[in-house]
Every structure is written in C-alpha cells, then in structure tokens.
Amino acid sequence: MINFNYETDFSLKNEDHISNWILNTISEEAYKIEAINYVFCDDEYLHKLNVEFLNHDTLTDIISFDYSIGKLIQGDIFISVERVKDNAKDFSVSFEEELNRVIIHGVLHYCGYKDKTDSEAKVMRDKENHYLKQLV
C-alpha cells in the first residue's frame, strides 16, 4: 500500500499513476511492498526531522525511514517540495521530473541501493534514470 500525505499546500495530480509506477519498480527489483507513506512538506518541516532524527542541521530534499524486513518494503519518505523546486531550477529540469526522481530515489534506497560513494551514486542515478523512462 502506498499512501500520499500532504503537510504543505501541494498535492500530486496523478496519485494512482505514480503508485502503479512505484509498485512496478519494486516488483522489477524483486521486492514486495508492505507500506510506504510519502509525506510532502516544506523545508522547515523536513529540517526539523533532519536535526531531530539525523543530527544534520542542513536542508535536504528527502529523508527516508526504512522499516523494511528482508525483501518486504515498509517505510516513511518525507519530501520537501520547496527543495525539489529549487533543485529543479539548479539542475535545469522540470519540477515534475525532479519530483519523480526524488520519489523513486527513496524507493531505491529501500531496495538496497546506496549513494554515499561516487560509484554508489552512479549506480543510483542510472537506476533512477531507468525507472524515470518507465513513467509515461
């Protein structure tokens, strides 16, 4: 089950389509879903979580809390809509493309992909691009 929650003045226009895309991604990665809760928020909301739970006093676009067990995915993904908008401008892409990248980025973490090293980040980016192409 995928739930979309909103803590800011924003909502996805195509929740069902995005849900199906996420479910297909999870299936292609040979995982199963228990539940993912997406929370779309602003910078202030996500910054508080970043400080409280991760001891990072910085702004970020996404924080994911992974409660998965083995191949059964469960977690909470918090996304700052403000940060995604700024990043889209910085990377010269549309807001929708950047938002979708961040949405699938959290799922890929749940599927075991990391992005701490350059080589891990390259694999993560390749996977993001692969799945973005599937979202039509």
Q: Can you say which residues are annotated as belonging to the binding site for Zn(2+)? A: 105, 109, 115
Helix and strand numbers, DSSP H then E, in the chain? 5, 4
Which letter does DSSP use for residue 58 in this model?
A: S
Among candidates 12, 24, 4, 25, which has minimal Cα distance to 109?
25
Around 46, how many Cα atoms within 13 Å sit in the side-chain half-sphere?
Answer: 25
Around 40, how many Cα atoms within 13 Å sit in the side-chain half-sphere?
Answer: 18
50-59: list long-range contacts, CB under 8 Å, 24+ apart: 59/83
Give the strand order in the sheet containing 72-80: 2-6, 32-41, 72-80, 62-66
Annotated binding site, which residues? 105, 109, 115
